[in-house]
A and B are shown apart, each in its own frame.
Chain A
Amino acid sequence: MNTWDILLWVVVPYVSIAVLVLGTIYRRRYDKFGWTTRSSQLYESDILRWGSPMFHVGILLVLIGHVGGLLVPKSWTQAVGISDHAYHVVAVGMGSAAGFLLLVGMAILILRRRLVGPVFSATTRNDKAMYLILAVVILLGLWTTVRVNAVGPGYDYRETVSVWFRSLFRLDPQVELMAGVPLGLQLHIVTAFVLIAVWPFTRLIHAFSMPIGYFTRPYVVYRSRDPQPARTRTSAWGDRP
Chain B
Amino acid sequence: MRVMAQMAMVMNLDKCIGCHTCSVTCKQAWTNRPGVEYVWFNNVETRPGQGYPRTYQDQREWQGGWVRTRTGRLKLRSGGRIKRMLSIFANPKLPKIQDYYEPWTYEYEHLLTAPAGEHTPVAQPTSLITGEPTKISWSANWDDSLAGGNELIASDPILARVSGQVKQEFETAFMFFLPRICEHCLNPSCAAACPSGAIYKRAEDGIVLVDQDNCRGWRMCITGCPYKKIYFNHRTGKAEKCTFCFPRVEIGMPTVCSETCVGRLRYIGLMLYDADAVGRAAAVKDETDLYEAQRSVFLDPRDPEVIRAAQAAGIPDDWIEAAQRSPVWDLIMKYEVALPLHPEYRTMPMVWYIPPLSPVVDVLRDTGHDGEDVDNLFGAIDALRIPVEYLAELFTAGDPAPVHAVLRKLAAMRSYQRRINLGETPDESIATAAGMTGPQIEDMYRLLAIAKYEDRYVIPAAHAETAAGLEELATGCSLDYEGGPGMGGPFGEASGRIAPVAVESFHVLAERQRADQHAEVTDPDAPPRRVNLLNWDGRGRPAGLFPPRQEEQPPGEQR
Report which A residues bind B (CB closer than 8 A). Answer: 32-43, 45, 48-53, 55-57, 117-118, 121-122, 206, 209, 211, 213-215, 217, 219-230, 232-235, 240-241
Whole-angstrom CA separation of A6 from B129 in the bound complex: 49
B196 touches A209 (CB 8 A): yes
Which listed residue, B91, B130, B470, B494, touches A225 by the CB 8 Å rule? B470
Whole-angstrom CA separation of A232 from B482 in the bound complex: 9
A220-B187, A229-B476 given; A214·B197 CB < 8 A: yes
> Smallest distance from the beta carbon of B532 to chain A beta carbons, Å?
15
Residues on A with C-beta less than 8 A from B119 are: none
> Smallest distance from the beta carbon of A101 to chain B beta carbons, Å?
12
B217 touches A211 (CB 8 A): no
A228 touches B473 (CB 8 A): yes
B482 touches A233 (CB 8 A): yes
A32 touches B476 (CB 8 A): no
B469 touches A225 (CB 8 A): yes
Shortest 8 CB-CB contacts between residues of A and residues of B: A230-B476, A38-B237, A211-B195, A36-B217, A225-B467, A219-B192, A36-B237, A32-B213
Q: How many residues of B contact A (CB 8 A)?
A: 67
B90 touches A49 (CB 8 A): yes
Q: Does B200 contact A (CB under 8 A)?
A: yes
A225 touches B129 (CB 8 A): no
A234 touches B191 (CB 8 A): no
Residues on B with C-beta less than 8 A from A118 are: 97, 129-130
- Which residues between 81 and 120 of chain B lie within 8 Å of chain A, taking CB atoms? 81-82, 85, 88-92, 94, 96-97
Closest B residue by C-beta to A48: B90
> Smallest distance from the beta carbon of B438 to chain A beta carbons, Å?
43
B92 touches A49 (CB 8 A): yes
Whole-angstrom CA separation of A205 from B202 in the bound complex: 28
List 19 interface pairs A-B (beta carbons < 8 Å), by A numbering: A36-B217, A37-B219, A39-B217, A39-B237, A40-B234, A41-B91, A45-B90, A49-B92, A118-B130, A122-B235, A211-B88, A211-B218, A214-B194, A217-B197, A220-B192, A225-B467, A233-B481, A234-B495, A240-B482
Residues on B with C-beta less than 8 A from A121 are: 129-131
Whole-angstrom CA separation of A117 from B131 in the bound complex: 9
Residues on A with C-beta less than 8 A from B88 are: 211
> Smallest distance from the beta carbon of B279 to chain A beta carbons, Å?
9
A214-B85, A230-B473 given; A222·B216 CB < 8 A: no
B132 touches A36 (CB 8 A): no
Residues on A with C-beta less than 8 A from B191 are: 219-221
Residues on A with C-beta less than 8 A from B381 are: none
